[in-house]
Structure 1
């Protein structure tokens, strides 16, 4: 009985993976002309870039220095550095930057309350038409702000996301993330055509200030505040767009331990956001409510089901049977699941190739191979740890 349930679940997961891969490939073909951003004309209204910081001594200077090289008109650019109760010399470094870029940079200090509270602190003090959020370890391309603000010529646009890339990937774990991030850039751009962008990432997103008056500020209790605010904007049927060309490079976890911590926070926050915004599961929200949101929700449920069945298998002494399908593909005699797996693998390679062409980025073949081989295993590990922390009610920190 257990083996039959496992088989059914594996077919469900394989089908979902195949569906999503084909979905993105077909959408890429359909939007092949639109995916390349056409110049919408220059639009550079006053903007405030909010950078929340916690113990970023030695890091924040580079972030601000790179940002201030932007070709955005300096008369319309404000930078708010918000120190969230750091215990090092972050605030002193901020004050130095405030003096260096007098008139553009302003340093603030507040009691520790988490990333969202630091962002909200800045939002409440900003008076510009547009507000951007920028992580303290992210480096903005000189032309990216202009590219992103041009979207706001359309009065219906309430938020825009950037093209986030890994900053100088060297280690294997960074190279795997490098491929993942590049694929995410293209997929998020495609989702914007369906009004289905699911996150406004911290490394660089721009908002119309009025949207915060309509939907509220960032949720200071959320583990995944950039997804939560995006869901809230979507729940109000407001528009979020995504850029393929507004590049920003971000520091990513360089150790397995750090990567697990990051992804576990994403998973735990994501589960809470799905539950909080379950009302979005409705035709009222178009493609987002009928296709994109349900796929993410079903995927999460499937992963949870797989975990608990694996746990039961372990108790029955047959845990490794669950994973056997993934290795039988190398032996003579294919079953339907293995054929589907090969199709998924082939289409995944094609999807990576298509993404690299649109981004005009050269992807190292070794990095691609590492991504294809290890990514699914990493996701499994992330979810095992996630479930363990949820069951133990472990408190998550920023």
Structure 2
């Protein structure tokens, strides 16, 4: 009946709008008044834009805004049936929030985290009611994107899972259940995709060529335009965490070099591409291209011409191979779940049916053969073929 959202930033505001649109009252909590005012103003501005386009009436705007109860106090969350936190993506910050929620939330309230990569089991352990904790990973902008990754912790109760799946329908999201692992389904796979994209820069490609090839294949956006849009500093923060937690995992340091120069993407007017003030068009940057060529030399990599076909295969098969591992580990229960994540959250071309179905169409024997070939090339250690993929390829099987 009632929802509370913690954090009125981009994510918190977007999440709130989903519930207002469905007629569910939301208590919106922030720590400072100015942050709260800013969040409310953004929500109102988003609705006003819809009124201008004739998609919404002024009465509906007023009715939706009237459903929000803004607050600076956790005590106002006592009656909420579902509480979603959308605070900074750091375990220490989440810990403070969940310990406080444990004190104020009513018994049986569902406590959800909008984390995109953190361990939901660790977050649940900050409370005395881990059975009530679940991950609800909304995608940005949360009021637009269809996908909702529902992350089931090892203690998450069945009724909690059933309830949030039902709620997802109510707010018109496509919900996919994921188990707990770093990055869940979508971000865990995209990490391998981006890793290949960076290796190809090192080996001879340039950002515009990589993006163009995968966009021609049908993706809404190539990896470098995507990264500039999301903010290159986000990937940088995840890689820094990786270097500590998995020192054995190799990455091209080319993206770190870009971030060290402060080129974080559209928000700073410069990333893998240059941007003109107030425009979103990605303009190839001579500075970045020169930096990439210099980096290859430094890394002792011999630059070569990389075909569009190789770009597409390495990017898409990186998704497929990681997807196969996700199925083996039981993180996703079926291949079509993985495909839904990619069709509704990551701009995978709809008519190709998602990475796993696309692999079935190409034939797993052909996919496996290509992966083994790429494993022989420089940076080939990034390709440990998933055993389930190898097995299905041998037996003429498929994921779907």
TM-score normalized by structure 2? Answer: 0.30
* Larger RCO: 1 or 2 (CA < 8 Å, sep 6+): 1
